[in-house]
Amino acid sequence: MGLNGHQKIILNFYNDSPLLPKTIMAETTPDGKKFIPKEPRISFESDGQSFRQYEVSVNLSIAAARLLAQNLDTFIKMAEDTAKSNVPEIK
């Protein structure tokens, strides 16, 4: 989140995913028809734990950001009230 040069609020939505392996090496029998039940050697392209993929970046005016915040607050309260009403009463 931040401000751009036009005084717009920038919201970035992204997805953090585990790294995909670069290679997976498993041993096979000499004829190559079966895998030997050992842990495969897995190598990754980087040492990081995950990678971040940006899904969308949104630029909002101050008025639009306030309206979004009000609507989010309304939905958060509705979700909290629903969660409270779904909790069984302990006697």
What pLDDT digit, counting tens, does each position of 8-46 carry? 999 989 888 887 788 888 889 899 888 888 888 888 777
Tell me the pTM. 0.51
In a domain? residue 90: no
Task: Over range 39-55, report the average pLDDT.
Answer: 79
Q: How far apart are CA 33 and CA 31, in angstroms?
A: 6
In a domain? residue 51: yes
In a domain? residue 64: yes
Two structure tokens written together for 50 = 């995950």
pLDDT bin (cut points 50, 70, 90) of residue 90 is: low
Two structure tokens written together for 16 = 């953090």
CA 23 to chain CA mean position, Å: 24
pLDDT bin (cut points 50, 70, 90) of residue 56 is: very high
In a domain? residue 61: yes
In a domain? residue 73: yes
The total number of structural domains that make up the chain: 1
In a domain? residue 60: yes
In a domain? residue 52: yes
Please provide residue 80's backbone torsions phi and psi, each rounded to the nearest 5 degrees.
-65, -40
Q: Is the pLDDT of residue 7 over 70?
A: yes
